[in-house]
Amino acid sequence: MTRRRGLAQLGALAVVATALLTLGLASPTQAHDELEKSTPATGTTLKKLPAHATLVFSESLGPDDLTVTADGTRLKVDAVPGKPATLTVDLRPVKPAKTVLLDWQAEDPHDGHESSGVIALHVKASHAAAATADANAHAPPDDSRLITWVTVAARIVGYLAMAVFVGGLLFLSLLWPAGAKEPRSRLLLGISVAAGIAAAATSEAVVVWRSSGGMTLRQALNEDFGRVTTAMALLWLLAAVVVAAVFQRGEHVVRELPWRVAALIVGAGLIRTTGMNAHATQGAQPTWGAAAEFLHLVGISAWVGGLTVMTVCLLPRRSIAELERIVPKFSTIAMLSVLVIVSSGLILSWQIISSVDGFWHTHYARVLFIKLALFATVLLAAMKSKSWVGRNLTSSTHRGSAVGAFIASVATETVLVIAVLGAASVLVTSSPGV
């Protein structure tokens, strides 16, 4: 028995060490595709307009991800072999003018963030080529809608899986260790890990699919977003090891310090890598934004994961003794989680909104308002649940009906919280300025 426990501790420490190495793969840089330079550069005065312009971005970008127009005419964009961050724009269809404005809009192929700008070129002697009737016929095909939906779906699944895994382990280790031997708990954790692995694999597939210009798989995965998704996939594999220990030893392992440390490291790594693809570092104080994003996801995970375990695993047992012992403690954790969510959310809103002009007219703002409305509804449901706990759960009369009402309230709260998390994942793939 001692030898078995020693092996388990060594295994847990190995998980911790591997997780730390994995976190090292995830660069803290939160770069999104931004235009680094153009040839000709904006503001340049030219004798005549060249046949092509060259745009160099901070990250790899495919021709399908960049739209360039001049006077309403969409221009053809081509990749440069061997240079995944460089694209060329065909300027031959541009109408003669003393000042040519090239409006460009880029959608990050990795996470859906959008950036845009204008390149102004002053021409002394405009070329005589007029816009051809079939200029738009040569425009690159647009598959961005499908890829965006796939990206959003992977992000939603990944967020939910992360929250259920982290919050579920927190609930079991701190509040309900006996639940580690419950079949429903094990199934829930197993599903969360499988979903997390699938979401990470899908994100990597999107990176590879939308890479172009001769980029190899190794080059694609060496990009910032590629490194993050690789680290996330490895962390989900480590999460499978953590859950496998629960399957093997149940209640005993969730009480042991080595397992708890391993679970803490893996959970923190998943939260960190999930937050690295968000808007947190786009403001004036990126460090504060990253810290607020981490705390925001910690609070959401503790709340969502705990509610899910309680709804799916604990409440169906209808054990009043367990509810009396566990629910008040979780109520305290949920209240602290809400405080963390609200305070960190205010910091994130200040980080993002204060630097975006015309924010209130954007798609991002509309999704944010939906999220806040759902969140307010969740708080009302949570307050009602807490009221039932205080009035009826500990009462000696009508316990059965009180438990039934409480189950219905918690189930509603869980669904609403999951909806909030879904809205949050959509926000990550939306640009605040559009």
What H or E segment, with its residue span, contains residue 307? helix 286-309
pLDDT at 387 exceeding the cut of 80:
no
Question: What does the pLDDT look like over 54-66, one tens digit per residue?
Answer: 998 887 888 888 8
Are residues 90 and 134 in contact, defined by beta-carbon separation less than 8 angstroms?
Answer: no
Residues 138-196: tens digit of each pLDDT? 444 445 567 777 887 888 899 889 999 999 999 999 999 999 999 999 999 999 999 99
Which amino acid makes up residue 98?
K
Looking at residue 433, its pLDDT comes to: 44
pLDDT the model gives residue 7: 46
Mean of the per-residue pLDDT values of the chain: 75
User: Given the structure tokens 């040839």, which residue do they identify?
Assistant: 39
Structure tokens at 116: 């845009």
What is the dihedral sign for C-alpha 26, 31, 33, 36?
negative
Strand order in the sheet with 35-39: 35-39, 52-57, 83-90, 77-80
Helix residue ranges, H only, 27-176? 144-174
The rounded distance, in Å, linking the Cα atoms of 339 and 335 is 6
Evaluate if residue 68 carries a pLDDT over 80: yes
Residues 6+ apart with CB under 8 A from 145: none
Nearest to 143 by CA among 107, 116, 115: 107
pLDDT of 340-365, one tens digit each?
888 887 777 776 655 444 455 555 55
Model confidence pLDDT, tens digit, residues 89-136: 999 888 877 888 898 888 876 666 677 788 888 887 544 443 333 434
From CA 149, how far away is CA 152, in angstroms rounded?
A: 5
Q: In which band, very low, low, confident or very high, does the pLDDT at 42 lie, cut at 50, 70 and 90?
A: confident
Bridge partner residues of 74 (DSSP): 69
The enclosing H or E element of 80 equals strand 77-80
Residue 56: strand pairing partners:
37, 86
250: left (phi over 0), alpha (psi -120 to 50) or beta: left
- pTM greater than 0.85 (yes/no): no
Alpha helices in 210-285 (DSSP H): 217-222, 224-249, 251-254, 257-275
